[in-house]
Chains A and B, each alone.
Chain A
Amino acid sequence: MKKASGMSERTSDVVLIVICSIVLLLVAYPLYYVVVASFSDPYEVYAGKTFLLPSGFTLDGYKAVFLNDGIVSGFLNSVKYTVIGTVFSVAMLYITAYPMAQRDLPGRKALSIFFLITMYFGGGLVPTYLVVKQTQLVGSMWALFLPGGVAVGNMIIVRNYFQNSIPHDLVEAASIDGCSKLRTFVSVVIPLSMPILAVMVVFSMVAYWNDWFTALIYLGGKGSPLPLVMRNILIKSSATASQAATISGGYAELNKLTELLKFCSMIVAALPMLIVYPFVQKYFEKGFMAGAVKG
C-alpha cells in the first residue's frame, strides 16, 4: 500500500519536472538565442547556424555599441532617469503610505478615495499632455516623473505592509518614549520596512529603465532614453549617418553591423534589470501577500 503510493508520487514528480523543463526551455531559449547571435556573424545567424553556439565569433557588435553615440548617450540618459525617478517615486510612495497607515488620521477615508479614484479613472492621453504642457514640463526630464505622481497600487501595498507587518508594539513604544510620528517613521518604520522597500525600488527601477512612451510624448526627441534610441535600430533598421561614415567595408559591412547592433543593443538594454531582480525575488511573494491582506 505504502509502496504503491510512493511509486505514484515519484512518477508524478517526474511528470511535473518534465512539464516545467519544457516551459523553462520555451521561456529561456529566445533569450539565449539573442545572446548567441550577439556574438555571431549575422549572416551565419540568418542562415540558421547559431541555434546552440555562436558561429563566426565576433565582438564587433559590442564594439559598435560602445562607439555608437546614440546608444551611449541613451544608456547614460536611462541611468540618470532611472536613478532620479526611482528616488523620487519611492519617496512619494513612502510619504503617502505612512500617513495613510495612521488609523487615527482625520480625513483618512476621504484621502483614500481621493487616491483610489485615480486608479480607475483618468483624464486620458491628451488632457494629461495639455496639463504637462501648461506646467512647462514638456522637454524637461521632470515630465517623466511628476505626472506619474503616486503609484496608487504600490502605495496600497506599502501602506498595508506598514499596518500589518511592522510590529505594533515597537511603534507604540516609540510613541510612549515621546517620539513624534515623523520621528517614529524615520527611526522605526523605515528601517523595519526593508523587504518592501527593496521590492518597490526594483519595481520603480524597472519601470523607468524600460519606459520609452512617456519620453516619446514629453521629451520632444531630446535626451532620449535607451529604448527610444533603439527604436531607430530595431524597428526602423537604420544605422546613424556618423556610423556609416566610419565603416570602411562599404554597404555590405554596414548592413552586417546594423544587424549585429540589433542583437547587442538588446542585450545591453535588457541585462541591467535581469541582473537586479533575482536579488529581491524572495521578497516579491512576501510583498504581494502583505499588500493583498486588507488593512
Chain B
Amino acid sequence: MARTNAAASAVAVRPGKSLSRRIKDNWQMYLLLLIPVALTFIYKYIPMYGIQIAFRDFKASQGYMGSEWVGLYWFRRFFSSPTCLRMIKNTVLISLYSLLWSFPIPIILSLIINQLRHARFKRVVQTVLYAPHFISTMVICGMLRIFLSPSGGLLNLIMGTSVDFLTESSAFRTIYIASGIWQDAGWGCIIYLATLANVDPGLYEAAKVDGASVFQRIKNIDIPELLPMAVLNLIMAAGGLMNVGFEKVWLLQTDLNKATSDVIAVYVYQQGIENAKYSYSTAVGLFNTVVNIVLLLIVNKIASKASDVEFV
C-alpha cells in the first residue's frame, strides 16, 4: 500500500520538475551521448550535406560549395548512358523477384517449425536453418562458384551436365535468389517464431478439444497472429526494393552474364571508387535512394489505409 502511494506520488511529482532540473538530473546522459551524436553527425549527416556534389562538378581542391554548379547534368548523363535502362531493369527485377520468393518462405517455414512437438528436433532444425546467415557473402559466393562450375561442380555432377551457369545470363537471377533463400530464409523465421511463441497456449488447447487439425489450427490461429508482422516486413522490404546488395552481384558477375547482372549498386561503386568520378556516382546513387524513399512512402500509405496503422 505504502509502495503504491510512493509510486503515485512519484508520478505526480515528475511533471512538476522544471526543465532545468531535468537537464541537471541528466547531465551524465548527455555526456554519454556526446560521442555517438558526434560520430553520427560527422559520418551520417555531413555525407547527406555532401550529396550536393551530385549537382556540381566536384573538385576536391574547391570543396563542396566552391565546385561549379551543373544542375542535372550528371543525371542526364546517367539516363542517356547506354546501359542505364538495363541497370534499372536488372535492379528492379532482381529485387522484385527476390521479394516475391523470399518473403513468403520464412512465413511458411515458421508455421511448420512452430508445430513441431519434439523439442530437440525443433531446436536442431532451427540451429541448422540459422547457420548460413552467419557465413560471409565471400564464402557463399566461393561455394556458388565451385558448385556451379562446368567442370565437376556439384550441380553439374548431380544433373550429369556441364553447363557454365555463371556465364548464362538467363541463370543469374535464379542463382542470386535461390542462394539468398538458402542463406537467409531460416534466419527470417526468427521474428515469426518469436511472435508465434507468444500465442496463448489455451487457444491451441481449445482448438484441439474442438477437434481442429494441425492445418486448421495454422489457418485459424497462427496465420492471423502473424499477419501484422508480415505486413510490416513487406513494407520495409518494399522500401528497399532498389537496394540490391552490392557484394553478391559483384562477386558473381562475369563478363558474360552482365545482361542480367549489371545493377546500379555495382555501377555506383565502379564509377565512384574505382574511377573516382565522384559527382557522377553520387548522382546515380541519389537517384536510387530517391526511388526507394518514394516506394516506401507509397507502400506505407497503402498499408496504413488498409490496416489503419501507421507503420513508418
Contact = CB atoms under 8 A, between A and B. Distances in A.
Interface of A: 1, 5, 8-9, 12-13, 16-17, 19-20, 23-24, 26-28, 30-31, 33-34, 45-48, 51, 92, 95-96, 98-99, 102, 104-106, 111, 114-115, 118, 120-132, 135, 146-150, 172, 180-182, 206, 209-213, 217, 227-228, 230-231, 233-235, 262-263, 266, 269-270, 273-274, 276-278, 281, 284-286, 288-289, 292
Contact of B190 (A26, A114, A150, A284): A284
B85 to A, nearest CB: 21
Contact of B285 (A126, A212, A233, A263): A126
Interface stretch (B27-35, B75-83, B88-96, B219-227): B27-35
Give the dominant DSSP class at A's interface: helix
Given A31-B131, A102-B29, A114 B37 contact: yes
Given A124-B289, A262-B142, A150 B39 contact: yes
A251 to B, nearest CB: 16
Nearest to A2: B211
Given A8-B213, A16-B214, A33-B154, A104 B17 contact: yes
A213 B249 CA distance: 12
Interface string B146-190: 110101111001000000000000000000000000100010001
Closest 8 CB pairs of A and B: A123-B47, A46-B152, A234-B142, A127-B50, A210-B136, A99-B29, A227-B138, A124-B285
A178 to B, nearest CB: 13
A131 B42 contact: yes
Given A234-B145, A277-B134, A111 B157 contact: no
Interface in B103-154: 109, 112-113, 115-118, 121, 124-132, 134-139, 141-143, 145-147, 149, 151-154
Given A130-B50, A288-B191, A230 B139 contact: yes
Contacts of A1: 211
A114 B41 CA distance: 9
A121 B48 contact: yes
Interface residues of B, number: 96
B66 to A, nearest CB: 14
B51 A127 contact: yes
A161 to B, nearest CB: 14
Contact of A9 (B30, B125, B214, B251): B214
Contacts of A180: 28
A149 B40 contact: yes
B194 A285 contact: yes
Nearest to B211: A5
Contacts of A19: 112
A143 B128 CA distance: 34
Contact of A99 (B33, B132, B268, B269): B33
Nearest to B132: A27
Given A281-B127, A284-B190, A20 B116 contact: yes
A150 B40 contact: yes
B205 interface: no
29 contacts: A5-B208, A20-B116, A20-B121, A24-B124, A30-B154, A31-B131, A45-B152, A46-B151, A48-B152, A92-B39, A99-B26, A104-B17, A111-B33, A118-B44, A123-B48, A124-B282, A124-B286, A125-B273, A126-B273, A127-B282, A130-B47, A131-B42, A150-B39, A209-B136, A233-B142, A270-B136, A277-B131, A288-B191, A292-B194
Contacts of B136: 209-212, 227, 269-270
Nearest to B58: A130
B28 A123 contact: no
Contacts of A105: 22, 26, 29
Contacts of A131: 42-43, 46-47, 50
B139 A270 contact: yes
Contacts of A17: 116, 118, 121
Contacts of B194: 285-286, 288-289, 292
Contacts of B238: none
A130 B309 CA distance: 40
B242 interface: no
